[in-house]
Structure formats: structure tokens, C-alpha cells
Structure 1
Amino acid sequence: MIYTLFFATLLFPLKGALIRCRANFTPKVQLVPELPLVDDLQHVSQPRSLVGVLRRVNAEEGIDGLYKGILPTLGFMLLWEQMSIPSIVVIGYLHFGVYDQSTVLIIAIASLVKIIATVIEAVFVNRAVTTREDISSFSLRRALDALLSPTERKHPYRIFSIPGLLATCTLWVLYIVGTIGARHFLFVKHLPENFGNWEDMRPHIPLLVGAVIFSFALNALVLTPLEVMMVRLSIQAKATQVVLLLDTPPVETSGPVRLRTDKDGYTGLISCARLIIEEEGWDALHRGWWWTAFRGILFI
């Protein structure tokens, strides 16, 4: 576990930059023609690549910005390590279990736990990375004030009613569970029991290569848009809050990336996908596809 946390800490700036890159609002046209572009006000170009976001964060926020959000990320990693249920049970049963009634029930319960935890993790981690406020490492109350809206602080269950987020996380988990099950029936069952015997494995090499390529492509095409929408939907409630303090800079003109703060926000999963395509193009839905594709091959 120590090595896992070490490598997660080492690679976290890349993950944080990926979250910001997916949250970055880059409209194809200026939505209000009478106003100058945000980029013109900042005299800089809007970063559209992972490397560009990394450079911008490092230039504007330094090392603290690169590691903003690491504490909730490591906290959820420890949670999954202690629980070990939603991921390991599902993967284990789908690959090696006997598909009877009890197995289906266990998979359903584990998947439900995974969905609930994924919603909570998306809200806290994505907001911690993209927030313009300083998050206190030693004050839970101040951290919650920075990450949750007033309504969510008063009624924490409201994070499950964020438009489209629960549906997106549900589809994300169902995709993972479904692809694991499909791989078991279409691929794993056809492999020999002795993986160490090369003569037994050699005839199955084309099937193995084909499965990896298909999984790579499917993750890039299907899983990536879901993860992009998870980021957008999870941060929307905080990004669209009205600023009441006169000495607080406008949200659009601060921070390494620009968040979508229009009054007409995403109203659901379909609305999120439609507006991203209309305002920013198809490319915005597949930001970081290589990250999701490679990572997906490892656990799906």
C-alpha cells in the first residue's frame, strides 16, 4: 500500500492536470459578442492540451497548484484499499465466479456501493483540483466550505441530485461491470487453465491481442466521454455560484483554466453531452482518451 500511495503521489500532477483539462471550458465562438474574450483579458492563450495545463498551473500556482486535491484523492485510495469490496469482488466474481443467483446479488450490491462511492469521490476530488479557493489541510470545516455549496453543506445527500451526475456514474460503473462480464464469457473462458504453458497459450495469442486492441478502442470511445462529463457535472454546482463579495475576482478571469459558469448549465447527462458538442466540439468529449484507454486495459 505504501508503494501505491508513493506512485500515486508522484503521478498526481498528471492526474490533476487531466481533471483540469477536462473541466476547461473552451467554446468555439464567443458566447457574448459584445464582451472581449477571456483570453484577450489574460493576454494568454487558453490551454487545450495536458502539457499546456501543466505549464499554466505550474506558472500561476506553483507546486501547491500541481498537488491541489491530493489529500482527498489519497483518502479515497485508502478507503478502497480498506473496503476492497466494490472493485475486487466484482472483478473476481465476474472472472472466476459461477453465475448463479447469489453471485448476481453480490455483484449488484458491490456495484451499488461502487456507484455511491464514485459520486462522492467525483464531487470531492474534482472540485478540490479545480477550485480557486485555498483548501485547508487541517480544518475539515473550511475544506467543506470550499468544496460544497451552501445547500450541499446543509443537506449532504444533495450531491446525489446534482443533474446528471448519478446517471453518469451509474453508466460508468455498469460499463466496467458489463465489459468485465463480457470479457469473461467471450475470452477468459476460452483460455487454457495453465497460463505458464507456452504451447497451450500460443494459439490464443491472436485472440489476446484482438481483445486488448478492442478494449483500448472501446475505452477511448465510450469510457472517456463519461469521465469528461463526470468532471463537468461534479464541479458545476460550485462553478456556477454567484459571487457576492465585491473584492473577489470574477471566476472567469482567474485560475489556470476556465470553467463553464453560464446561467443555463447542464441539466442532465444528455444535456451535458449535447452542450459540450455544440459549444466546444467532439474533441472536448475525448480529452485524455489515451489515459482512460490504457488505464482501462489494466482493470477492465
Structure 2
Amino acid sequence: MAIFSVASLILFFFFLAVFLLITVPLTGALVRLRANYNPKSLQLDPEDGVQPHTGPVITSFFVMLSRVRTLEGWAGLMKGTMPTLLSNAVLAIFSSMFLDMSLSNPRNHGVYNAPTTKMWGTLLYSIFLMLVSLPAIIITYRSVITPCRLPYFRPFYSLRVLLTPTERRKPWILYLTPGLLTAELLHISCVVIGLRALRHILLPSLFQIDDQQPKDLSPRSLIIYLAISLLSTIILCPLEVISTRLAVQRNHESAEFNSVVQEEVGDSEDVQEYSPDEDVIGLRNDMDPYLGLADCAKRIIDEEGWRALYRGWWLTMLFGVFGAFA
């Protein structure tokens, strides 16, 4: 079992700090871009009256990044830091304790770069990743899109803002968020199990975990694997867009409405907002929620066009390729 030496802990916190400073602003802008609701036409209100969409029309990642910087400042760009920090720390510690991986090696944890271990270890990591990632992305994505200022060191206060009374009373309901578990299972299966197994078959020299003589790297196999990694974006990007939409859709138990309908009024009293006069993004009508993965995909295509499923596709491609060869 890996030993938590002082040197490994220092390296771990160093890599984690660099990781957060680089990825949190990028991930935050990407989450907002994918969560932003841009319907193609006029919408009907509950009384069948026509109402125009009033949210911002933003389809560019860098425009969204600039908008966040303008409206919310640097603090807004770092929203989601604490849940990202905690989830990555948990995954790294799990890899170190149960898979005998080095705590200081940044290659040994993450969504796109699973620990370089044997097949059973990859399967164990995949199961644990699913259990951790689902509530983690719900809390992280909601902390990113909320206009409220959340304190870094008051987790219970932040959870009161981010979660509905139903979700706090029954936390397991997060795993029952319509379609989200299915989307996460498909994503993890593609990345951690599918691409990792393919890498083991095509590029065994990159998969070595022992101090053995390196095997020759076949250029043909490398090209095939790189091409498959690039093409996987066709599947992974829509799954990530759908996961984002489903994660920010809050679960609410009500006698009047469907149990997945978002609350009209949150349980957050007297909270400060980053930009009270203008919202960074617009969200879909919370009285008409997505009912599952297939329903979410269909409504996105019908209401916003198929291109909405590929927002930020080039980032998914880059993360996938870098993770595949990490």
C-alpha cells in the first residue's frame, strides 16, 4: 500500500493547486455554456401565451469566459473550487489506499485519466468514480451556475443554497435524478473502461505498470487509437451536455407538480449575488423539466438544435486525448 510521505503530500497539493487554477475557470465557463438555454423560437407560457426568450444568446466558449469575468469577476471564475478540490482529493486518496498508486502522481486520478493499474483495479475505480462523481457534479455544477456568493468554508450553508429541502432530507434522491445516473454510467464506461481497455490492447507499452523492458510502440496502433479517441467526442460531448442540463435540474417533491420540478423559491435567505442586475446565463423553464436522458436529448434538439449538444466539443476532444495518453 502506498505510504503518505511528506514529499508525496507536498507534491500532491502542488499538482492539485495547479490543476484547480487552470481547470476551474475553464470548467466553470464550459458548464455555463452548456447549461445556458438558447431556444430557437418563441415559447408558450402556462396559459398558452407567447413569450419571447429573454436570456443571453451565447454559443462561444470564450465569449462565455469573458462574460463571466465581466459580470462576476475573478471570484466568479473560481466558483466550484471547493467541490472540485474535495472530489479530486477523495479520488486520489482512494487510488493511493486501495490501488497502491502514488498520491503525488497527477496521472493516477481523474475522470479522463484513470489510474494505470490492472483490469480489476480499473473496474473498482470506475465503480467508486460513479458513486463519487454523480453527487459531485450536481453540487459542482450548481455552485458554478448559481448567482449567489457561496462561502468557501461554510459547507452546510452552501448546501442549503444548492440543494432543495427534499434533496437535503433524502440525499439519495440525487442518484435518482432523471437520466443523470445513466448518462454518467455511459460516460464512465466509454472513458474509463472502453478507451482504457482499447489502450491496453493497442498500446501495451503505454499501459505498463511494472519496471519491465519497454515494448515497441507501433505507429499504426498509435494512429488507430488516436483516431478512436478523437471520434469518441461524437458520443462523449452530448453525454456531457446532457449531464450538465440534468445536474442543474433540482429535485423537488411536491403534491402539485412532478417530483423533478425545480423549486420556484430556494431555501437561501438573504444571500448576496455576484451580479444582481444581470444573470450570466438563462435556464430552461423550471416548470417543465427534462424527464430523462432520451427526453433531454430530444428536447435540446427540438428546442435549440443539434449543435447545442456539441457545445465545447473541442474541449472534450482535448481532455479526452490528453487523458488517453497521460
The TM-score bracket by the shorter chain reads 0.7 to 0.9
Q: How does 1:165-180 map to 2 (within 5 A)?
A: 165-176=180-191, 177-180=193-196
Is the contact made by 1:132 and 1:255 (CA closer than 8 Å) also made in structure 2? yes
From 117, 141, 157, the counterpart of 1:126: 141
Give 2:40's aligned amino acid.
K
**Per-residue CA distance 1:77-109 (angstroms, 9 max, x = gap):** 21122111586696534xxx4xxxxx55x5443
Give the TM-score normalised by the residue count of structure 1: 0.82
Is the contact made by 1:126 and 1:231 (CA closer than 8 Å) also made in structure 2? yes
Q: 1:107 to 1:232 in 2, by over 3 A?
A: same
Is the contact made by 1:119 and 1:169 (CA closer than 8 Å) also made in structure 2? yes
SS for the counterpart of 2:174 is helix
In terms of fraction of residues, the more helix-rich structure is 1
Aligned twin of 1:185: 201
From 283, 286, 297, the counterpart of 1:259: 283
Confirm or deny that 1:298 pairs with 2:322: yes
Separation in structure 2 between the aligned mates of residue 29 and residue 37 of structure 1, nearest angstrom:
8
**Per-residue CA distance 1:239-286 (angstroms, 9 max, x = gap):** 9321389x999xxx9520111124221111111111111111111111
Is the contact made by 1:47 and 1:56 (CA closer than 8 Å) also made in structure 2? no
Confirm or deny that 1:135 pairs with 2:150: yes
How far off its partner does 1:113 sit?
1.2
Separation in structure 2 between the aligned mates of residue 166 and residue 190 of structure 1, nearest angstrom:
31
Aligned twin of 2:102: none
Q: 1:36 to 1:230 in 2, by over 3 A?
A: closer
Aligned twin of 2:6: none
Q: 1:190 to 1:145 in 2, by over 3 A?
A: closer
Separation in structure 1 between the aligned mates of residue 194 and residue 207 of structure 2, nearest angstrom:
20
Q: 1:107 to 1:268 in 2, by over 3 A?
A: same
Structure 1's unaligned 5+ residue stretches are 40-44, 98-102
Confirm or deny that 1:77 pairs with 2:88: yes
Amino-acid identity (%): 31
From 205, 210, 226, the counterpart of 2:239: 226
Confirm or deny that 1:7 pairs with 2:18: yes
SS for the counterpart of 2:40 is coil
Give 1:282's aligned amino acid.
W
Separation in structure 1 between the aligned mates of residue 222 and residue 202 of structure 2, nearest angstrom:
11
How far off its partner does 1:293 sit?
1.1
Separation in structure 1 between the aligned mates of residue 195 and residue 207 of structure 2, nearest angstrom:
17
Give the TM-score normalised by the residue count of structure 2: 0.76
Is the contact made by 1:240 and 1:261 (CA closer than 8 Å) also made in structure 2? no
Give 1:161's aligned amino acid.
L
Give 1:16's aligned amino acid.
G
Q: 1:151 to 1:254 in 2, by over 3 A?
A: farther
Is the contact made by 2:249 and 2:262 (CA closer than 8 Å) also made in structure 1? yes
Is the contact made by 1:216 and 1:297 (CA closer than 8 Å) also made in structure 2? yes
Confirm or deny that 1:38 pairs with 2:38: no
How far off its partner does 1:190 sit?
11
From 282, 304, 314, the counterpart of 1:280: 304
Separation in structure 1 between the aligned mates of residue 64 and residue 114 of structure 2, nearest angstrom:
35
How far off its partner does 1:7 sit?
2.1
How far off its partner does 1:138 sit?
2.7
How far off its partner does 1:290 sit?
1.2
Is the contact made by 2:87 and 2:133 (CA closer than 8 Å) also made in structure 1? no
Aligned twin of 1:42: none
Separation in structure 2 between the aligned mates of residue 190 and residue 58 of structure 1, nearest angstrom:
39
Separation in structure 2 between the aligned mates of residue 191 and residue 72 of structure 1, nearest angstrom:
30
How far off its partner does 1:73 sit?
1.0
**Per-residue CA distance 1:28-68 (angstroms, 9 max, x = gap):** 112136324305xxxxx522211111121122111221111
Separation in structure 2 between the aligned mates of residue 58 and residue 13 of structure 1, nearest angstrom:
10
How far off its partner does 1:120 sit?
1.4
Aligned twin of 2:220: 206
Aligned twin of 2:38: 26
From 47, 61, 66, the counterpart of 2:58: 47
Is the contact made by 2:202 and 2:225 (CA closer than 8 Å) also made in structure 1? no
How far off its partner does 1:295 sit?
1.1
Q: Which runs of 4+ in 1 moved over 6 A?
A: 189-193
How far off its partner does 1:127 sit?
0.7
Aligned twin of 2:263: 241
Aligned twin of 1:100: none
Is the contact made by 2:147 and 2:279 (CA closer than 8 Å) also made in structure 1? yes
